[in-house]
Chain A
Amino acid sequence: MIDKNLGPSRYQALRFGLWIAMASITMMFAALTSAYLVRKPAGNWYEFKLPFQFFISTILIFLSSLVIEWAFQSFKKGNENSYKFGILASFLLGISFLGSQILAWKSLTAQGITIDLTVSGSFLYALSGIHAAHVLGGIAALMVSLLTAFLIKFEVSPMRILKFDLVRQYWHFVDILWIYLLIFLILQ
């Protein structure tokens, strides 16, 4: 959160801005899951099991979160190799997460649960799809971090810490968001 010792500054404001953006995204998913809860009791609701790929996705994105945290701590300590390896690994795990989500959708389609078959299926596609779009944004940010790590001279400066920190926080956020969605779907 805000480091009060630094006082009012754009440097602090950017971090704060990210938290506001995340609050905004949270509202979007709160709306979608509320719509799910409102719609479900109205009947015409087809029950089916979640594809196992969603659980693999969860492991992948959770691992990615752990690795990016390790990369961030390594960067702050000036440990260049761990930082580079960590950021590459979290990027690849992020890509794998998306791949795993695509496999999950394919598995659903193979079971006959297409996006337009039933509202319960449509919601599953919508929730996971809109989340995947947000992960894609995180992957784009990770890509920039990756290029920075490998193409720009290694230097631990406040600005670079800040930029990496913003990416790290957002990445943790989409991870937590997915875990929330999965628990929500399991409970439902």
Chain B
Amino acid sequence: MSANHPNNVEKDKLIQELGYDDHFHEHHHGDKYQTNFLTTYIFSQDHKIIARQFLITGIFWAIIGAAMSIIFRLQLGFPDADMAWLRPILGHWITINDAGIGRLDPEFYYALVTMHGTIIVFFVLTAGLSGTFSNLLIPLQIGARDMASPFLNMLSYWFFFMSSVVMFYSLFISTGPFSGGWTAYPPLSALPQASIGSGAGMTLWTVSLVLFVVSVLLGGMNYITTILNLRTKGMSMWRMPLTIWAFLVTAILGLLSFPVLASGFFLLLFDRSLGTSFYLSDIFINGQALDRIGGSPILYQHIFWFLGHPEVYIIILPAMGIVSEVLSVHARKPIFGYRAMVYSILAIAFLSFIVWAHHMFMSGVNPFISNFFVVFTLIIAVPSAVKVFNWISTLYGGNIRLNTPMLFCIGFVSMFISGGLTGIFLGNSAIDIQQHDTYFVVAHFHIVMGVAAFFGMFAGVYNWFPKMFGRFMNETLGKIHFWISMIGAYAVFGPMHYIGMAGVPRRYYRFDSFDAFKDFDDLNKFITIAAIVTFFGQILFVVNFFWSMYRGRKMTEQNPYGSNSLEWTTPIDAGHGNWPEKIPTVQRWAYDYGKDDKEFIQQHVPLQEGEEPSSH
């Protein structure tokens, strides 16, 4: 196209107006943003800074969410223990009985369980994981200066921050945070008078989650738009690293499912505030019949799980993408079955939308309709198994570096297999009738989407820490952290399968008053002790993280791992815009490891004469 072509003239005008490099020219026009402290570190529009903000906020919430789980595990493992020592922290939620023994308030026990689920699912494993790595890696790995809309990207974080503030505030109100379970089923969530946590706590919970949905939607819009529109020259869809595929599909899932949750919340708010009966019918409180007719809590369950099940994959897909990338880099081998990996991501995403009712086998769903959901639930095992097979095949015969990121990737694969297998049990409605709402379910989802996703997140943090902070995390502490986490997670959730099989129900305040469950007192103690040890293992990570940020070994080379993807072509201390000169043009896929006797060939290296592009 000639310089005077109308399109070029239009582009030049745009560049003048927009003030930043718009991929039209081969040079960077500079940053249109002022750089004072506030715009650099607080209201930054640089995707790399926003990634750090998401990560540090996620770590903050992870500590709180994990600490909550330790408190309620203490209650379950040692129900007669004196909890008075927690009074300075929990205040009136620790009641002192006549014997001077401190007891955890049962209402607050439920609040802790509810908040633990909400915080970990939404704030840590959605915002902390997807928010961090989508922001960090999308522009860097596709070759873009920043997101399509840096401003909306910044708003995405601050909506998350506001959501966090509201949720945090709800922990301190006199009636306590919401206590009706993270799924917020009506009537506990729809009637302010239903329980102590259903009042202001639930109102704040809902407001917080609505703000969170806005954050997810703003972020997701940006991720999809950036990936589909701002890839550098030569970066075709089939040359993108698997991380980017995973983030793209995750964002699509979020954009299609979170609005459904929002609609459910709107109706819930109407029920709470305007006296409608979308979800309420024939309710009695203290013997008094309420003036509500015609609603159905099952309707809420359908709407909630239409988000809730894709949410599982919103959590696990980014971890899968990270693991695919890190495994390949540190096994020094191309990822096995690249296209199969992409198709399996797409298949999992599609199927995740048509299995939501497997969470409702015990809600009175027609058993014949259940069969449909059983079949599709079990079919999800196929693309999942393809991925597991490909990860193991990537490792097979690889020149494996057993560093911390790699250990966490292997741990992820292990957890995903263990947790996935128990999913096959629960996916069968006939078995689920026995297992529903037992510790078997708790163990299953904690391993497959909790621990596995955390492992993927840890792999990502250890691997890309130098990209974020220009320093390395301590390797020895990292390995100790891995082994405590790996052994600890199995020690916590392994026995839970057993007690779940025996019928021990979840969401009980204490088990020692039931003859049927007395046999499991010792196992509950064991689980609690294992959980405490695992928790302190995570403190190691936090210490390592913040210490390394300032004192870690400095990064001295641009590409320390010998990785092919574009993020390692930027300077060590990349400014806003990522590449000081022109953005590299992509010549090949991201997984040319061990090709033509070269250990690795970066994506921007042109094909040599006679070299065939790698088939994948």
Query: Which A residues are closer than 8 A to B by beta carbons?
Result: 2, 5-14, 16-17, 20-21, 23-25, 27-32, 35, 38-39, 42-45, 115-116, 118-119, 122-123, 125-126, 130, 157-159
Contact = CB atoms under 8 A, between A and B. Distances in A.
A10 B150 CA distance: 10
Given A16-B229, A17-B148, A130-B266, A157 B260 contact: no
A5 B295 CA distance: 53
21 contacts: A6-B7, A7-B23, A8-B23, A8-B230, A9-B24, A11-B14, A11-B22, A14-B225, A16-B229, A21-B217, A24-B259, A30-B260, A116-B275, A116-B276, A116-B277, A118-B294, A119-B277, A126-B266, A157-B17, A158-B14, A158-B17
Given A17-B148, A44-B293, A116-B275, A158 B217 contact: no
Nearest to B150: A10
B476 interface: no
B69 interface: no
Contacts of B270: 115, 122, 126
B221 A24 contact: yes
A38 B221 contact: no
Interface in B194-217: 217
Contacts of B266: 126, 130
B255 interface: yes
Contact of B263 (A10, A14, A31): A31
B260 A13 contact: no
B299 A9 contact: no
State the 3 A-B residue pairs at the shortest beta-carbon distance, nearest first.
A116-B275, A13-B148, A28-B259
Contacts of B149: 10, 13-14, 17
Main secondary structure of the interface of A (DSSP, over half): helix
B294 A126 contact: no
B225 A31 contact: no
B107 to A, nearest CB: 29
Interface in B210-259: 217, 220-222, 224-226, 228-231, 255-259
Among A2, A8, A115, residue most surrounded by chain B Cβ atoms (within 10 Å): A8
A32 B259 CA distance: 10
B224 A20 contact: yes
Contacts of A115: 270, 274-276
A153 to B, nearest CB: 14
Given A28-B260, A126-B267, A119 B148 contact: no
Given A8-B230, A9-B24, A12-B229, A159 B148 contact: no
Contacts of A31: 259-260, 263-264, 303, 306
Contacts of A45: 294
B23 A119 contact: no
B18 interface: yes
Contacts of B17: 157-159
Nearest to A38: B299
A122 B221 contact: no
Contacts of B294: 42-45, 118-119
B259 A122 contact: no
Nearest to A118: B294
Nearest to A23: B255
B229 A9 contact: yes
A126 B299 CA distance: 15
B299 A13 contact: no
A6 B295 contact: no
Contacts of A12: 229
B302 interface: yes
A10 B275 contact: no
A39 B296 CA distance: 8
Contacts of A123: 278
